[in-house]
Amino acid sequence: MTNSPVNTSTNTPGDTSTNTPGNTATNSPVNTATNSPVNTATNTPISATATITNTPDTSVPVDVLIDDCDDGDNVNLLGGYWYAFDDTGSGFSYTDPVSDNRAILDGIPTVPFTMKGYDYTTNTYGGAAKITGAVKDTATFLYGFVGMGTNLNKDKTPMSIACCSGIRFYARSTSGTMTSFRMKLAHPTAFPTPSDSENMFGKVFTVSSTWTLIDIPLSSLTQLPYWGTTIPLATALAAVEAIQFQSTAPDGTSIPSLALEVDDLTLYNCVGGCMPTPVPTNTKVVVPTPTITPTPNVPLVDYLVDNCDDGNNANNLGGYWYTFDDAGTSATHSYVWPMSDKYGVIHAVPTYAFIMSTPGYGSTGYAAQMTGTTTSELLSGTSYYDFIGMGTNLAEPKAAVNLNCCGGIRFYAKTDSPSVMSSFRVKLGATGAYASAGGEGGDMYGKVFTVTGAWQLFEIPFSTFTAEGWGATTYGASQPSLSAALTYADSIQFQSTGQGKVGIDLWIDGLYLTNCYPGCVNALVPTSTNTPVVPTVTFTVTPTITTTPTNVPVGSTVTDTPTVTPTNAPVGSTDTVTPTMTPVTAVTPSSNTLSFTSEKNIKSYPNPAFTSLLPVTFSFKVSKSVTEVKIKLFTSALRFIREADVEVSLLKVVDSSSDGITYEAAMASDFISTLSKGTYYYVIEAKDSNTQVKSKIEKLIKLY
């Protein structure tokens, strides 16, 4: 907000890590000689009778490069430090990287400012200063703001820049809704009563999604009208501590998302030697070497979290896949398959390991899949929030993994039920960042993505992740920043976005962390078991494999756990019975002939069926409309048990297109409730006026 009378953390010379070199290796230059303006007797003859010192020609204007950001650290070429700031203490705005004051208020460690922009010439990650964030105005504070800045020396002492003509830099904004920002000078000691919350001189500039060279003459800087203490510009220019870049918006207006990148910050046409070690902008400057030396322009790498092809529920970090839902929050709540642990506990049924499905992306291997139903019972204000989801932990046991060193995530996704739900939300589980705001129930950062019936590649930068906005209101505490969420990331989750939906389906494969600094995510070593195992067309019956809890390694023993097999068990499991029945081959689809259009579109859910409270729904896709449907059920030994004639009027059409019609048939609970728990098989028969067809044989597991 441009009229904000409050400017906290970063303009205050307090003892915070980002603004103070302190005793932190990343922030503390070991050698300040490079930035020293002292010219010693480097050209002095050996003779002891004469000393000749070269005196710079101070009449020639020079440009002083403050920082080109190419070294990737938070130290500029004058020895000062980059930092972020916001309205912490007065409002609820936040930035990424997180400000020191926000971190302290949220009870998380302060961390140095991280370069997250892309160099304007080479497009190298880590080569520009960048902030993302949100401005949140409230009824009690109408002047929210966020920003970033850099001190002009390591001690943050006032210095004169009056001998320079102006400030020049490159800027852009690649996301968010804000296109105007204000460059301002921090000069608190220039006021009669020194204050960081005073009306500083500055100028508004406009950015676009492409890099723009911004040139601001110092003579054009002004104070904002109607508030603060008015002082001469010359007084301010004689006592500058930092150069800052701040959000702008009308008072009382919240900005849900903003971003700003700045590169090649320069004071130009400086004369008289007023600046320490003037450096022409065409000269590469070597920053004094910190205790830990950053490597400029380190090639970034992508880390494979899981390609799912080993078929188990563990990822390459050692964490485990799982599902979740709103079980326990209402009488008839949402449910997901594979069954969530919470659902199993509430309904007193055994929990078991997450089951991978096949085929994965590229029609090979495995992928993570969830199906299920959301209810419409959980109401907050005028909105329902019933949900289901699946995720994978980043460590085992579950623990925080700092993802600030990565740029984003990438994955393949699709749905077999696009007409039911096509939008899902990927989000970061970060329990530790929400200790004061609901823990696992916190307003997690994420991004909505839209899927179709075909595999699509999604690459999502973390900088585009946002909270949904209900967290601070619900829990009465400030929403953690994105940087804090990345610091405490413990899982990656995929969640539904709609309520009252039956037959939700989502597939995920090839999950990566992208644009990471090498070595920043430890333990990401691909397993030696990632060899795709593709089940054969003929099914395999495996009635004696012990299941395990969702978040434990496959193979752990669970007492009194039913012995069932995952639906897509690969050939080679310890089979006791292997029938040789051959599935019926579907007739080639045509506009005149009835056929099952795809074997993969024949399914039932929930499967396993884990409670008698829920009906079992059968879903199938055929080439044209039907007049009759039967569902036949068999034992694991292929003995016929029963069949159900489904009235066509009760069939639900969930999708209809040129390539076929997808039907769902919700069976009464007594269709399987009287059966013993175990493994069963079913076939769907469909008929029109001319043709009768049978589906391939599918498996149904009953746990209760």
**19 pLDDT higher than 70:** no
Q: 161 or 59: whose pLDDT is higher? A: 161
According to the model, what pLDDT value does residue 328 have? 66
Span of 157-166, 222-231, 372-381, 446-455 with lowest mean pLDDT = 372-381
First to last CA, the chain: 59
**543 pLDDT higher than 50:** no
**59 pLDDT higher than 70:** no
**692 pLDDT higher than 90:** no
Whole-angstrom CA distances from 508 to 182, 421, 457 are 42, 15, 10
Quickly state the pLDDT bin for 277 (edges 50, 70, 90).
Answer: low
**546 pLDDT higher than 70:** no
**330 pLDDT higher than 60:** no
Q: 244 or 334: whose pLDDT is higher? A: 244
Range among 58-62, 449-453, 557-561 with highest mean pLDDT value: 449-453
According to the model, what pLDDT value does residue 321 have? 96
Q: Is residue 488 a contact partner of residue 435, using CB atoms and an 8 Å limit?
A: no
Q: 452 or 276: whose pLDDT is higher? A: 452
154 dihedral zone (left: phi>0; alpha: psi -120 to 50; beta): alpha
According to the model, what pLDDT value does residue 223 have? 93
Q: Is residue 178 a contact partner of residue 258, using CB atoms and an 8 Å limit?
A: yes
**534 pLDDT higher than 80:** no
According to the model, what pLDDT value does residue 439 have? 53
Give the tokens for residue 612.
């008698």
Q: Is residue 616 a contact partner of residue 631, using CB atoms and an 8 Å limit?
A: no
Q: Is residue 72 a contact partner of residue 58, using CB atoms and an 8 Å limit?
A: no
**16 pLDDT higher than 60:** no
CB burial string 58-83: b at 16+ within 10 A, e below: eeeebbbbbbbbbbbbbbbbbbbbbb
- CA atoms of 9 and 242, how far apart (whole Å): 13
Strands (E), 41-177: 62-67, 82-86, 94-96, 117-118, 125-135, 146-151, 166-172
Whole-angstrom CA distances from 557 to 351, 400, 552, 561, 563 are 12, 27, 10, 9, 11
**571 pLDDT higher than 80:** no
Give the count of beta carbons closer than 10 Å to the beta carbon of residue 395. 18
According to the model, what pLDDT value does residue 438 have? 47
Q: For residue range 149-201, what is the model confidence (pLDDT) as tens digits?
A: 999 998 899 999 999 999 999 999 987 788 999 999 999 999 999 888 889 99
* φ, ψ at 290 (rounded to 5°): -70, 175
Give the tokens for residue 164.
């320079």
- CA atoms of 630 and 645, how far apart (whole Å): 5
What mean pLDDT comes out for the span 228-245?
94
Report all structural domains of the chain as residue ranges with CATH numbers, in order of start: 54-270 (2.60.120.430), 304-516 (2.60.120.430), 599-702 (2.60.40.10)
Mean pLDDT of all residues in the chain? 74
Q: How long, in residues, is the chain?
A: 704
**531 pLDDT higher than 50:** no
According to the model, what pLDDT value does residue 26 have? 34
Share of the chain above pLDDT 90, in %: 29
Give the tokens for residue 147.
């920003």
Strands (E), 6-145: 62-67, 82-86, 94-96, 117-118, 125-135
Span of 83-87, 521-525, 679-683, 691-695 with lowest mean pLDDT = 521-525
Quickly state the pLDDT bin for 563 (edges 50, 70, 90).
Answer: very low
Q: 241 or 703: whose pLDDT is higher? A: 241
**545 pLDDT higher than 60:** no
Helix (H, G, I), strand (E, B) or coil at 456: strand
Range among 259-268, 551-560, 561-570, 688-697 with highest mean pLDDT value: 259-268
According to the model, what pLDDT value does residue 99 have? 87
Pairing of strands 212-217, 180-186: unpaired
| Angle (CA) 39 43 46, round 5° | 130
According to the model, what pLDDT value does residue 348 have? 74
The distance from CA 404 to its chain's CA centroid, rounded to whole angstroms, is 11
What mean pLDDT comes out for the span 641-670?
84
According to the model, what pLDDT value does residue 556 have? 34
Q: For residue range 115-140, what is the model confidence (pLDDT) as tens digits?
A: 988 888 888 878 899 998 888 766 66
According to the model, what pLDDT value does residue 289 have? 29
According to the model, what pLDDT value does residue 201 have? 95
Q: What's the whole-model pTM score?
A: 0.45
Q: 425 or 613: whose pLDDT is higher? A: 425
Instruction: Please enumerate in sequence order all residues whose Cβ is within 8 A of that of 649, keeping only pairs 6 or more positions apart, or say none.
Output: none
Judged on CB neighbours under 10 Å (0-12, 13-18, 19+), 536 is exposed
Bridge partners of residue 390, in order along the sequence: 323, 494
**561 pLDDT higher than 80:** no
Whole-angstrom CA distances from 544 to 314, 411, 540, 637 are 22, 34, 12, 14
* Exposure on the CB side of residue 553, measured as CA atoms within 13 A: 8
According to the model, what pLDDT value does residue 501 have? 86
Range among 245-259, 445-459, 462-476, 594-608 with highest mean pLDDT value: 445-459
Instruction: Please enumerate in sequence order all residues whose Cβ is within 8 A of that of 188, keeping only pairs 6 or more positions apart, or say none.
Output: 11, 194, 195, 196, 198, 241
According to the model, what pLDDT value does residue 696 have? 85
According to the model, what pLDDT value does residue 361 have? 94
Quickly state the pLDDT bin for 601 (edges 50, 70, 90).
Answer: confident
DSSP H or E segment with residue 106: helix 100-106
Quickly state the pLDDT bin for 212 (edges 50, 70, 90).
Answer: very high
What mean pLDDT comes out for the span 452-469?
91
Share of the chain above pLDDT 70, in %: 71
Instruction: Please enumerate in sequence order all residues whose Cβ is within 8 A of that of 363, keeping only pairs 6 or more positions apart, or say none.
Output: none
Span of 40-54, 79-93, 198-212 with lowest mean pLDDT = 40-54
According to the model, what pLDDT value does residue 171 have? 95
According to the model, what pLDDT value does residue 238 have? 93
Cα dihedral sign, 493-498-501-505? negative
Strands (E), 564-659: 603-605, 617-622, 628-634, 640-646, 652-657
- CA atoms of 512 and 498, how far apart (whole Å): 26
Q: Is residue 398 a contact partner of residue 491, using CB atoms and an 8 Å limit?
A: yes
| Angle (CA) 327 472 103, round 5° | 115
According to the model, what pLDDT value does residue 106 have? 67
Residue with tokens 């904002």: 224
What mean pLDDT comes out for the span 634-645?
83
CB burial string 352-369: b at 16+ within 10 A, e below: bbbbbbbbbbeeebbbbb
Q: For residue range 85-97, what is the model confidence (pLDDT) as tens digits?
A: 988 877 778 788 8
Q: What is the DSSP string of 350-396?
A: -------BS--GGGSS-BEEEEEEE-S--EETTEE---EEEEEESSS
